[in-house]
């Protein structure tokens, strides 16, 4: 099990996702979060939102899952939901998109509904470590062309640029109380409507 899977499992546990009836997964990719909650007996509807058709097509078909292959800003849930979750999509969003996401999260939730997001995010020492790792990757991938190293490079570049302060301040504009929890190399952001 990789670290990303470990963190997705933590997200499902912390958000109590298996006890919720209606859930939205923003930037759902190939449906990794649904894979971890498909055993739920409570889940009635999961909206997966991702603008990549390839990603949506890779996600598992299940009659509780409704896919929206469009930008997060165009998403309108057919009913307000208990929970909004998202894993590792924040780093790909611009400041404006993060603000749109905060707004969409609030407008999708029922009163007392909750959101839980996870993203890779580094503190000073983690930056130093990742910086050295990136440097080695760049050198190695320029010496020996390796698609795997280049994939890691792009992935880490986005993580490196991710600014969790923008996310926290955008969500604070829309939610009164938000909670921030740090894990090594990662951050959980959650709150209640």
Ligand X SMILES: C[S@@+](CC[C@H](N)C(=O)[O-])C[C@H]1O[C@@H](n2cnc3c(N)ncnc32)[C@H](O)[C@@H]1O
For ligand X, the binding residues (CB under 6 A) are 8, 27-29, 32, 49-52, 55, 71-72, 87-89, 92-93, 97
Instruction: Give 120 or 125: the residue with its C-beta nearer to ligand X.
Output: 120
Dihedral of the alpha carbons of 170, 174, 175, 178, in degrees to the nearest 10: -10
Residue number of the CB atom closest to ligand X: 29
How would you classify residue 180: left for phi > 0, otherwise alpha for psi between -120 and 50, otherwise beta? beta
Instruction: Give 50 or 114: the residue with its C-beta nearer to ligand X.
Output: 50
Instruction: Give 19 or 52: the residue with its C-beta nearer to ligand X.
Output: 52
* DSSP 8-state assignment for residue 105: H
Instruction: Give 52 or 123: the residue with its C-beta nearer to ligand X.
Output: 52
Give min distance, CB of 138 to ligand X, in A.
21
Give min distance, CB of 99 to ligand X, in A.
12
Give min distance, CB of 98 to ligand X, in A.
10
**Which neighbouring-strand residues pair with 190?**
116, 179
CB of 75 closer than 8 Å to CB of 50: no
Give the angle 141-162-118 at the CA atoms, nearest 5°. Answer: 105
Give min distance, CB of 29 to ligand X, in A.
2
Instruction: Show the tokens assigned to 145.
Output: 């062309």
């Amino acid at each position: 099990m990789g670290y990303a899977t470990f963190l997705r499992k933590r997200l499902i546990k912390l958000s109590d996702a298996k006890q919720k009836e209606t859930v939205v997964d923003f930037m759902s990719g190939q449906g990794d979060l649904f894979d971890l909650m498909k055993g739920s007996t409570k889940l009635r509807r999961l909206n997966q939102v991702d603008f990549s058709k390839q990603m949506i097509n890779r996600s598992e078909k299940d009659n509780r899952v409704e896919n929206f292959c469009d930008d997060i800003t165009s998403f309108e849930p057919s009913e307000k939901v208990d929970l909004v979750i998202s894993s590792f999509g924040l780093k790909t969003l611009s400041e404006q998109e993060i603000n749109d996401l905060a707004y969409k999260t609030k407008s999708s939730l029922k009163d007392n509904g909750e959101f839980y997001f996870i993203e890779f995010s580094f503190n000073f020492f983690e930056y130093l470590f990742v910086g050295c790792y990136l440097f080695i990757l760049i050198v190695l991938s320029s010496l020996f062309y390796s698609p795997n190293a280049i994939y890691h490079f792009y992935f880490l570049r986005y993580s490196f640029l991710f600014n969790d302060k923008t996310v926290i301040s955008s969500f604070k504009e829309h939610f009164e109380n938000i909670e921030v929890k740090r894990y090594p190399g990662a951050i959980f952001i959650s709150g209640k409507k």
